[in-house]
Chain A
Amino acid sequence: MIRAIAWREWRGLFLSPLAFIILGVTQIILARLFLGHVNLFLMIQGRLATLPNAPGLTSLVAAPVLGNTGVLLMLITPLATMRLIAEERHNRTLTLLYSSPASLTEIVLGKYLGILGFYAVIILMSLAMPLSLLIGGGLDWGALACGLLGLMLFAASLGAIGLFMSTLTRYPAVAAMGTFGVVFFLWIVDYAGHGRGAGGALVGYLSIVNHYEPFLRGLFDTSNVAYYVVLAATCLVMSVRRLEADRLGVR
């Protein structure tokens, strides 16, 4: 059941031009940034050779590419997730799901896995660039895997935020704006209060990017994993609750 819903979601995305435009634009921007990172690496390569324990190709090119992908995902998420529930509600196709023997949890998880499938395609395509470095150099596989795990967790929490915002409305554009607001707020939340007392630490902890950066440095910390897991789970539970309220007719 979950698989059928997820498959329809994923396929529905690729039947519209939106998915291809998102993938194309992402790839062009990432390619430009990737060239920039490679260029910088080539420029300082000579000096790096003289340093002991110098940063290598992975931390100077691969990690920044993953970081850029994360930023792009924050911008893509509103567009990619806006239709999940809102459009079904608008086109009245949600009725089909509601009158089928599927629980609300199955519906939400199906939708969620569908959008994660799309993110998986974005991540795999972005990964192709760092992997192309293997032609002329070597990569630190451990650090790369750690960064990749971070990116996947980051994407998983973004998708859940977008899904929840999409359950709130019948207009995809409203869902997109809401998701943009939440994601952007979580991005810049520690902008003013960097490290001032306990409050500053809390605000810093809320920031969605602060938990991603350690992964890129090759630092695996379960508290960062927990942040994303809790964020995603909260959004999914709230989505189920929201659909329940829908059935009860609370509008």
Chain B
Amino acid sequence: MSHSEVLVETDVVTRFYGRHAAVSDMSFMIRRGEVLGFLGPNGAGKTTTMQMLSGNLAPSSGRILIAGHDMQEAPEQAKAHLGYLPEYPPLYREFTVDEYLDYAAALRRIPRASRRAARERAKARCGLHEVGGRLTANLSKGFQQRVGLAQAIIHDPDVVILDEPTVGLDPIQIREVRALIRELGSEHAVILSTHILPEVQASCDRVQIIHKGRLVLNEDINTLMAHMESQALIAAFRAAPDLGALGRLPQVHAVTTQEDGRVRILHEPGADPTDAIVGLALEKGWGLREINPEHSTLESIFVELTGESPEAS
């Protein structure tokens, strides 16, 4: 997979709004067959990045290549390889779903003869067969989102950019959309922005965390999962333990007492000093009450990197 072609490449892309840098020095690449999750609190620069990748906004400096075509030098060739679902699906309210998708197909230069087939395929993939004749204005939020998705994939683009694709969907629809994203990810390059952490865990191969316009993390999802494996144990004792004795145990890095009286024992990644701790507690009669691996989540990594909780922002 790592040898397949690079479909999106950004080279120190910066975007200013006035004097405020919404995105600074952003460099990354995406290969065919990858689903990249773009994660960040609201206002971190996710949408700005998506707009630049989709050619809606020119970067103040830097270069964006889509399937080898420079977005500034050859925007039409670059955009031909691109499908974009913005934050708000760009629907013409007075058009029916079929009319709308036919128009989207024409805009993507699909020859007249194959437009109908393209439209039907996109509808089938997004579960829209029953609403073809309805006005987009009268559809529920979930269906509107799916029409937006159908519009983005109607021309079978190499790169699919989705800005918060599951917002406003119910749990069943979310599952369907995630399955569709996985399916798209097998042959295309998919970039997806979200502030919902489980979504990244559910559908992405790679995660990029963006904060205040900068990339603060760019990691393979498996590496990240490995990171998230426990590196600390939380233990509670009836009697006050000798922290020095605990700290001298092999594989233990540091020992601290938490506010709630529990002891946090930081150990080497991959090691498990549980047995040694239990033995020591028994020997010294500290009265061990509980011992648990500390669960590190994407949330905690996120908070660690950005210094704020994703939901609170």
B56/A15 in contact, CB under 8 A? no
B92/A8 in contact, CB under 8 A? yes
Interface 9-mer from B29-37, B104-112, B247-255, B278-286: B104-112
Q: Of B54, B58, B88, B151, which one neighbours A249 at CB under 8 angstroms?
A: B58
Q: Of B57, B80, B93, B107, which one neighbours A96 at CB under 8 angstroms?
A: B107
Q: How close is B242's CB to chain A, nearest CB, in angstroms?
A: 62
Q: Is B95 an interface residue (CB 8 A)?
A: yes
Interface string of A93-136 (1 = CB under 8 A from B): 11111111111000000000000000000000000000000000
With both beta carbons as reference points, the residue of chain B lying nearest to A16 in the complex is identified as B94
Q: Of B55, B82, B103, which one neighbours A4 at CB under 8 angstroms?
A: B103
A100/B107 in contact, CB under 8 A? yes
Q: Is A248 an interface residue (CB 8 A)?
A: yes
Q: Is A32 an interface residue (CB 8 A)?
A: no
Q: How close is A177's CB to chain B, nearest CB, in angstroms?
A: 24
With both beta carbons as reference points, the residue of chain A lying nearest to B15 in the complex is identified as A249
Q: Which residues of A contact B198 (CB under 8 A)?
A: none
Chain A interface bracket (under 10, 10 to 19, 20 to 34, 35 or more): 20 to 34
Interface string of B79-122 (1 = CB under 8 A from A): 11011101010111111000000011011110000000000000
Known: A247-B56, A249-B58. A99 touches B92 (CB 8 A): no
A98 vs B90: C-alpha distance when bound (angstroms)? 11
Q: Is B77 an interface residue (CB 8 A)?
A: yes
Q: Is A36 an interface residue (CB 8 A)?
A: no
Q: Is A47 an interface residue (CB 8 A)?
A: no
With both beta carbons as reference points, the residue of chain A lying nearest to B77 in the complex is identified as A101
With both beta carbons as reference points, the residue of chain A lying nearest to B102 in the complex is identified as A4
With both beta carbons as reference points, the residue of chain B lying nearest to A107 in the complex is identified as B107
A249 vs B94: C-alpha distance when bound (angstroms)? 29
Known: A1-B107, A92-B86. A101 touches B94 (CB 8 A): no
Q: Is A138 an interface residue (CB 8 A)?
A: no
With both beta carbons as reference points, the residue of chain B lying nearest to A110 in the complex is identified as B107
B86/A95 in contact, CB under 8 A? yes
Q: Is A12 an interface residue (CB 8 A)?
A: yes
With both beta carbons as reference points, the residue of chain A lying nearest to B108 in the complex is identified as A100
Interface string of A127-171 (1 = CB under 8 A from B): 000000000000000000000000000000000000000000000
Q: Which residues of B contact A4 (CB under 8 A)?
A: 103, 106-107
Q: How close is A43's CB to chain B, nearest CB, in angstroms?
A: 47
With both beta carbons as reference points, the residue of chain B lying nearest to A245 in the complex is identified as B58
B80/A101 in contact, CB under 8 A? yes
Q: Which residues of A contact B77 (CB under 8 A)?
A: 101
A99/B54 in contact, CB under 8 A? yes
Q: Is A50 an interface residue (CB 8 A)?
A: no
Known: A96-B151, A247-B58, A249-B58. A101 touches B90 (CB 8 A): no
A153 vs B241: C-alpha distance when bound (angstroms)? 94
Q: Is A222 an interface residue (CB 8 A)?
A: no
Known: A103-B76, A247-B58, A248-B58. A96 touches B94 (CB 8 A): no
Known: A102-B107, A103-B76. A92 touches B92 (CB 8 A): no
Q: Which of A1-59 contact B (CB under 8 A)?
A: 1, 4-5, 8, 12, 15-16
A24 vs B101: C-alpha distance when bound (angstroms)? 31
Q: Which residues of A contact B103 (CB under 8 A)?
A: 4, 8
Q: Is A223 an interface residue (CB 8 A)?
A: no
Known: A8-B103, A95-B56, A247-B58. A102 touches B88 (CB 8 A): no
With both beta carbons as reference points, the residue of chain B lying nearest to A106 in the complex is identified as B76
Q: Which residues of B contact A98 (CB under 8 A)?
A: 54-56
Q: List 6 A-B contacts (CB under 8 A).
A: A91-B93, A96-B151, A99-B55, A99-B84, A103-B75, A249-B17
Q: Residues on B close to A: CB < 8 A?
A: 15, 17, 54-58, 75-77, 79-80, 82-84, 86, 88, 90-95, 103-104, 106-109, 151
**Apart from A16-B94, A101-B75, A247-B58: 17 A-B pairs, beta carbons within 8 A:** A1-B106, A4-B107, A8-B92, A96-B90, A96-B151, A98-B54, A98-B56, A99-B56, A99-B86, A100-B104, A101-B76, A101-B80, A101-B108, A247-B55, A247-B56, A249-B17, A249-B57
Q: Residues on A close to B: CB < 8 A?
A: 1, 4-5, 8, 12, 15-16, 91-103, 247-249
Instruction: Give me the 8 closest cross-chain CB pairs, A-B, nearest first.
Output: A4-B106, A100-B107, A96-B90, A99-B84, A15-B94, A93-B90, A101-B80, A101-B79
